Each structure stands twice: as structure tokens, then as C-alpha cells.
């Protein structure tokens, strides 16, 4: 696996700094169901709207950008955290990274399969918006768990 498409190691901290607050915020929005939309993030979409039909679903004159900022911040944080190089990039780390990616895609595909079978209606769309982020989340969890496990084992067999 080539490492020229990975971010340098120092971006990992940036990734975590971005990821943790947005992730907590997103979780909070999900669990409480309330969406805190500060007023300064509300912008008008413009008066000359093409969709003049009053029964059109999106006939709104304003749009709040909280969701967009949350999604962008979460995605950028996940990308930076997941795909930054380790401090020492050797072949074992590349191998583990490839395995973790495969594992993450398998897990995510399984979840989507379950969603197709068991979830319907507008809840399905909600689940699909979460499914945008779960591959990277699974990858981060699996990759770091593998590295931590190896480190723990190598500490135990310290010669």
C-alpha cells in the first residue's frame, strides 16, 4: 500500500481535535432529537426562487447551516484521523491498515444490509446519513485496536 496518499503524522492530532467535538455534538443531536440551531447560522436562500409552487416541499426562504457544518467537520475530522501516517510507517502498519479497511467495509456492508431488511420509511434515510460516516469510524476503531493490542503484547514479551 502506497503511503503517498496519506497525511503526515502531525495531522492526526488535528483530526482528533476536529473529530471529537463534532462527534459528540452529532451524537447529542441524535440522542436528544433536538437540534440546536444558532441564529447566526441562518441564511436566506434568496427571494427569486424557481420553485414557486406553494405545495413544494422545499419552499423555504431560509436555511440553517448547522447540519452542514456538523457534517463537514465530522467528515474532515474522520478523514484526517483515519488516514494520517503513524509515527513509524513500516510494512506491518501498512498491512494492518489494509486489513482494517477491509474489515470496516465488511462491517458497514453488513449494517447496510440489515438496514435494507429491517428499516423502512424516513427512518431509513436517517440511518443512511449515519452510514455515510460509519466506514471511517469502524476503520479508526479497528486499526487503533489492532495497534494497541500489538503494543500490549510486545510490552508483555519484553526482552
Q: Does 9 bind another protein (CB under 8 A)?
A: no
Q: Count the residues of the shown chain that bind another protein, applying the rule CB under 8 A.
A: 13
Query: Distance (Å, rounded) from C-alpha 116 to C-alpha 112?
Result: 6
With DSSP H G I counted as helix, E B as strand and the rest as coil, what are the percentages for the chain, rounded to 5? 65, 5, 30
Closer to another protein by Cβ: residue 13 or 95: 95
Q: What is the DSSP letter of 157?
A: T
Q: Does 91 bind another protein (CB under 8 A)?
A: yes
What x-and-dash track marks residues 106-145 binding another protein by CB under 8 A?
----------------------------------------
Residue keyed to cell 509515527? 87
Query: Distance (Å, rounded) from C-alpha 136 to C-alpha 48?
Result: 39
The single residue among 60, 92, 126, 130 that binds another protein, judged by CB under 8 A, is: 92
Closer to another protein by Cβ: residue 37 or 150: 150
Q: Does 90 bind another protein (CB under 8 A)?
A: yes
* Cβ(75)–Cβ(133) below 8 Å: yes
The DSSP bridge partners found for residue 84 are 7
Residues that bind another protein (CB under 8 A): 88, 90-93, 95, 147, 150-151, 153-154, 157, 159
Amino acid at each position: 500500500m502506497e503511503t503517498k496518499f496519506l497525511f503526515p503524522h502531525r495531522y492526526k492530532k488535528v483530526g482528533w481535535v476536529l473529530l471529537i467535538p463534532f462527534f459528540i455534538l452529532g451524537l447529542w443531536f441524535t440522542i436528544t432529537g433536538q437540534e440546536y440551531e444558532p441564529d447566526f447560522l441562518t441564511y436566506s436562500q434568496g427571494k427569486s426562487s424557481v420553485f414557486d409552487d406553494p405545495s413544494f416541499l422545499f419552499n423555504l426562504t431560509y436555511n440553517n447551516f448547522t447540519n452542514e457544518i456538523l457534517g463537514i467537520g465530522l467528515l474532515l475530522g474522520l478523514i484526517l484521523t483515519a488516514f494520517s501516517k503513524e509515527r513509524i510507517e513500516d510494512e506491518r502498519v501498512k498491512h494492518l491498515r489494509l486489513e482494517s479497511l477491509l474489515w470496516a467495509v465488511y462491517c458497514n456492508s453488513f449494517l447496510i444490509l440489515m438496514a435494507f431488511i429491517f428499516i423502512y420509511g424516513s427512518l431509513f434515510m436517517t440511518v443512511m446519513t449515519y452510514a455515510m460516516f460509519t466506514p471511517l469510524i469502524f476503520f479508526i476503531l479497528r486499526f487503533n485496536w489492532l495497534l494497541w493490542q500489538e503494543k500490549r503484547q510486545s510490552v508483555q514479551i519484553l526482552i
